[in-house]
Amino acid sequence: MQLDGSAPNQPQAPNQLDVAVVQFAPGTDPSANLSALREHARVAGERGAAVVVAPEYSMFAVGRLDERVVAVAEPLTGPFVTGLGAIAREFGVHLVAGMVERVEGDDSRIHNTLVVLGPDGNLGTVYRKVHLYDAFGHRESDVVAAGPIETPAIFVVEGVTFGMQTCFDLRFPEGIRRVATAGAQVLVLPAQWIPGPAKVDQWTTLLRARAIENTVYVAAADQAAPRGAGASMLIDPTGAVLAELGDEPGVLTASIDLARLAEIRTTNPSLALRRFAITERI
């Protein structure tokens, strides 16, 4: 491992795709956040990453949600998503990041939204967070409208299928199982995992469990300190940590290896052996 937690650069093998996870500390200036994210995306692109994953609330981050986040909300055609598209196009990557989306017809709440921008700069897949963080003394639902229950948000890059969830979604294994059974080979999980007692232990345990039980790679991008707990990581389908960070900003890279994934799913066919389906709770 390199000092920043990334796997050493190696020649790309067939059926492999390099993924990068960005950990930084966004604040309350969307333009400054874009500039910081651009620098990390540049590093990721130089390392050969085809997909770059940035944290939840990359656009605007505060310690506790209130009217400030509503005031800054933008549509998907706004300057932040447009800026993400410019970064993706400049470095030729697929860029995933969390933004604060305006809710049409509702001036009091926002969507906590993940967007995927392609190397052409165009908006692709969109995911609006389903499980809201009404826990540990926080009430995300006071200002955030939950996303609708839809077909799992999936995107494909060079034959590798990625599925998306956000932060608190990690605590709900059935939601991530839906993503895996929809064909995801990699779970992309941007977060602002709020620091607190045992929170990093819970984060790392849950990430590895989701990788193991669904036999998927996991690319988890948390915010850096002070508003995030850090510990961003890339995990393989056995739960082995390929690369990880502490609580400071940085960039991780590792390879998604479809041949290894196929081998693991043959040895541990848990998806094929499952006996229960997932249904929406009314």
- Which tens digit of pLDDT belongs to each residue from 217-229? 999 999 999 999 9
Tokens of residue 160, six digits = 């590798």
Domain ranges of the chain: 18-273
Cβ-proximal residues to 70 (8 Å cutoff; 6+ apart), any chain: 107, 108, 109, 110, 143
Average pLDDT of the residues of the chain: 94
What distance in Å separates the CA atoms of residue 66 and residue 62, rounded to the nearest whole number? 9
Q: Name the DSSP letter for residue 48.
A: T
> What is the model's pLDDT at position 14?
60
Q: How confident is the model at residue 10 (pLDDT cuts 50, 70, 90)?
A: very low
The residues with which 17 forms a beta bridge, in sequence order, are: 256
Of the pLDDT bands very low, low, confident and very high (cuts 50, 70, 90), residue 2 is very low
- The one-letter amino acid code at 90 reads E
What residues form DSSP beta bridges with 187?
163, 218
Q: Residue 246 corresponds to which amino acid?
A: G
With a cut of 60, say whether residue 4 has pLDDT above it: no
The CA–CA distances, whole Å, from 74 to 33, 59, 103, 198 equal 15, 10, 9, 34
The amino acid occupying position 251 is V
Query: Which residues lie closer than 8 Å to 172 by C-beta, 6 or more apart?
Result: 131
Q: Are 135 and 167 in contact (CB under 8 A)?
A: no
pLDDT exceeds cutoff 50 at 75? yes
Active site residue ranges: 56, 129, 167
Predicted pLDDT of residue 12: 53
Distance (Å, rounded) from C-alpha 116 to C-alpha 155? 8
Q: How confident is the model at residue 11 (pLDDT cuts 50, 70, 90)?
A: very low
Least confident stretch, 39-43, 110-114, 137-141, 161-165: 137-141
Domain 18-273 listed as CATH 3.60.110.10: yes
Tell which residue, 264, 227, 274, has the closest CA to residue 247: 227
Q: How far is CA 131 from the centre of its chain?
A: 14
Number of CB atoms found within 10 A of residue 245's CB: 23
Are the C-beta atoms of residues 63 and 169 closer than 8 Å to each other?
A: no
Strand arrangement of the beta sheet that strand 154-157 belongs to: 154-157, 160-164, 186-191, 217-222, 233-235, 241-244
User: For the segment 100-138, what is each residue's pLDDT rounded down to a tens digit?
Assistant: 999 988 889 999 999 999 999 999 999 999 999 999 999
